[in-house]
Amino acid sequence: MADLLTHVLIVYVLLTVVSWWTDRVDPRWTAVGMAGAAIPDLVKARLLAPGYVVERILGLPFDYSAISTLGGVAFVAGVITAAFGRRYWKRAYIFLVCGGFCSLVGDGLRTFADSHSTSWLYPLTWWRPPTPNLYVTADYRVTVLVVVVAAVVAVVDASVIDRLRSETTD
């Protein structure tokens, strides 16, 4: 679960920093982007319902690994977007996909035995891009680092940025 927390916090940091320069990104849409970061990790649902069980229920071949791809993120984001009001569909979809994409990029930086990440660019290609092998998912230091950076960004956002915004509107 540390990688899920890390993915969500990285998107929080990125979108919060972007919100300092544009009004198009506010806390509501930051939260939607953070939810999008969790989409590739839905693959862990296989722990609750193995693929063969879902296959029997659907009557179709099913594999969870497709969720952890760009195509899977695009599809699941589309399903989630349907829960938003029609006038928010485009914006919700963009934020969900951006969050999911950031999560996939983060996963692509992990250490893999053969130095190639998964084929997360599917359906564009089955190519497995090389990975810089920056971290191991189980390394707690990555999570600690991201939590500290997110805390600093939250403090700066709550104190400095909010004060600057209130001064410019007065």
Cβ count within 10 A of residue 4: 15
Instruction: Please state, in angstroms and rounded to a whole number, the distance separating the CA atoms of residues 46 and 63.
Output: 9
Compute CA distances 125 → 25, 66, 68, 145, whole Å.
31, 13, 14, 32
Count of other CB atoms within 10 angstroms of residue 34: 22
Host domain of residue 110: 2-169
Decide if 129 contacts 121 (C-beta within 8 A): yes
pLDDT digits (tens, 9 = 90+) for 13-68: 999 999 999 989 999 999 999 999 999 999 989 999 999 999 999 999 988 888 99
Each residue's pLDDT tens digit, 103-114: 999 988 888 888
Quote the number of domains for the chain: 1
Q: Which two tokens stand for residue 3?
A: 């990688």
The model's pTM is 0.89
Question: Could you give the CA distance from residue 104 to residue 134 in angstroms, rounded to a whole number?
Answer: 14
